[in-house]
Amino acid sequence: MWLRKTRALLLSAVMFPVAGMADTPIPTTKTFAISARIVSGCGVSGGGTSVNFGLLDFGTYPAVSAGQVNAVATGSALQIQCSSGTTLKIAVDGGLNPSSGNTQRNLRGPGETLIGYQLYADAAHTQTLNVGQPVSMPVSGVASLPIYGSLSLPGGSTPAGTYTDTAQVTISY
């Protein structure tokens, strides 16, 4: 008889779970946090897989020419897009042919002859891009950043030929 009672108790525990267990549903939904952080900044686009400022070509002149000539970099597909109120900084190194103090950029031509030139961030030539020194520019929305140049043709003292340089541009914000 005692064995019968034990079996009956065990059977009733299996068939009727502890009070409250059947009343508490298992949650099937939960929440999770989602966020995004938007910060001031800029993006550079254009030029395909590499950013390209184009070509700053001062043109072709007779070897005896003297005087100041100006040019703007052309052929660039570079576009800068900045959030409102962002200040962009642009700096240009001394190129491949800087002066000994790295303060003057130079085109190099035949016989290692150098002709100095200046770079500017504006058409009026008021924002000089000194070697390695960043120039600040406020930018909102989409803008292109042309680079302007000025070259003093030295007259008949330089040999005829092609004069070139390559400079590196650094953009920060």
The pLDDT tens digits along the chain (173 residues) read: 444 454 544 444 455 555 555 677 787 888 889 999 888 788 877 655 566 677 899 999 998 999 999 999 886 656 788 888 888 888 999 999 998 788 899 999 999 999 999 999 889 999 999 999 999 887 777 777 778 999 999 888 789 999 999 999 888 88
Overall number of domains in the chain: 1
CB contact at 8 A, 67 and 150: no
- Confirm whether 11 is domain-assigned: no
CA distance 96 to 146: 20
CATH number of the domain that residue 111 is part of: 2.60.40.1090
- Confirm whether 1 is domain-assigned: no
CB contact at 8 A, 132 and 91: yes
Residue type, 36: A
- Confirm whether 22 is domain-assigned: no
Note down the domain range covering 78.
42-172
- Confirm whether 96 is domain-assigned: yes
Task: Give which of 100, 113, 32, 115 is closest to 67, Cα–Cα.
Answer: 115
How far apart, in Å, are the Cα atoms of 6 and each of 15, 16, 18, 19, 173? 14, 15, 17, 20, 80
**Which residues pair with residue 82 across a beta bridge?**
42, 141
Give this prediction's pTM.
0.72
Residue 15 sits at φ, ψ, to 5 deg, of: -80, -30
